Amino acid sequence: MILKSLKRQTITIFLVLFSSLMIAQDDEMDLLDLLGEADVVNYTTASFKSSLVVNLESIENTHKGVLDFKIMHRFGPVNDGFYEFFGLDQATTRLGFKYGLTDRIEFGIGRSTLNKNYDGSFKWRILWQSTGSKIMPISLSFYTVTSYQSVNYGENDPREIYKVDKFSYTFQFLLARKFNEKLTMQLVPSMVHRNIVETSAESNDVFSLGLAGRIKLTNRLSVNLEYYYSLPDQLASSYTNPLSIGLDLETGGHVFQLLFTNAVGMVADQAITETVGKWGNGDIRFGFNISRVFTIVDPQKEKVKKEKEAG
């Protein structure tokens, strides 16, 4: 009963906060229209270097007409010792693509070696931190991803598993603020729904709260931190909360990130609900992310083309 009450209170708080922000934004726009101020808006950029903090999503979107190709690689646990070359003999990877339909809306697909997982995602930036004629103190995005584990569970699994049981769904609100050029903070209330769980003691719906941050060291170098706390009595005792640290390096069209994490999963439902590694036991993994962007449609060229056609 206590857990259900916490869930209801958490959901209510998020809805009230979201509604208040939307009302405040509408009131501000009406006031500016009455005053007749010039429509000059300065949107905040580069809150994070890429659309990922470490394992999971940041407030950043892929820009309109841009394709973002991501390679995510995690080695084995460091505490496996020299025989496994401190985890380097093992590997888990994910390949993914994200495309910006607009500067506020993106779609993504991916494939992970872990459980032969396929995923499809959608992100919508609802509010955009800005100054000028339109003042918005925060950025807010809605993110959802559907995950399908295509792995065969085997004849020894006592559960009767159908294809629909292998789906999981994650829903997140990304609430972020870039305080200055060096510091960004982000809160991520999340809900993961799993169609099937291992035991009746686990919950199909898992509520968690993520905390992420970025500290800029130089124009091309930054440190990222990411942690997700799941409310109690939802997961089996063998699972723990994911904690990840990354070092971002921007090199031209690439963003290269070196990282340490106790999570092997690189999709939200896997990282939040299936992490078993513990930092205190040295059960952490070294890994890296590579992001390479390609401009498929140049908005400026498209604008010039349309103007010529209209003329």
| Residues of the domain holding 302 | 2-310
Q: In which residue are the tokens 């690689």 written?
A: 73
pLDDT along the chain (311 residues), means of 10: 48 47 46 57 93 96 95 90 82 96 96 95 97 94 96 71 91 97 97 90 94 95 97 92 95 87 95 93 93 87 65 60
pLDDT at 24: 45
Phi and psi angles of residue 224, each rounded to the nearest 5 degrees, phi first: -115, 145
pLDDT at 302: 67
| CATH number for the domain that contains residue 242 | 2.40.160.40
CB 91 within 8 A of CB 73: yes
Distance between CA atoms of residues 263 and 272, nearest Å: 8
Distance between CA atoms of residues 111 and 109, nearest Å: 7
CB 53 within 8 A of CB 278: no
Q: Which helix (H) or strand (E) holds 110?
A: strand 105-112
CB 117 within 8 A of CB 96: no
Longest distance between any two alpha carbons in the chain, whole Å? 71
Q: Provide the number of structural domains found in the chain.
A: 1
Q: What is the pTM of this model?
A: 0.83
